[in-house]
Amino acid sequence: MANHPDPLLETEFFKELIKQLRAQDSLGRHDSAPAQALLEPFILSPERKQVIPLTAALDSATQSRIEAFYNALCALIERECGRIAVPMMNLSAEGFGRVIITVGKLVVLDKTLRDAHRFGFASLSVMKDEADKILSVALNIIGKHSDVAGM
């Protein structure tokens, strides 16, 4: 049976996310890694999530994945509206914090993060749905308040 690539990986979101993940790798260790291998840590089945303790320290790899996810969203927001989108993230070592995305003086995303050490999605499809939802809301806010976004 032939190995068919997942069509989700051809979407703009996943192309950008892969770009962001590769950009974090300053030594180029993942340059030849397939997209699926780079995305695998984002997928947390219920069984895999259950293995992660409820209280755990946030490791740098997980923090980098969170940053890549929101950086990819910012790049897509910029592409869609032509204005710079800036992510700001504050996470405690225990995995609690907040992500804010601004465009100009406009806040287009304000999300509280809890248990960030368990950051992940049940599937690529669920991750894409969440990204699409965030992108749609952000672009809607920008459309309604373009004067503030332009400041």
pTM of the model: 0.90
Ordered by start, the domain boundaries in the chain are 8-25+33-149
- Supply the DSSP string of 63-76, one letter for each residue: HHHHHHHHHHHHHH
Q: Are 41 and 65 in contact (CB under 8 A)?
A: yes
Architecture of domain 8-25+33-149: Orthogonal Bundle (1.10)
What are the pLDDT digits (tens) for 79-120?
A: 999 999 999 999 998 889 999 999 999 999 999 998 888 899
What is the average pLDDT score of the chain? Answer: 90
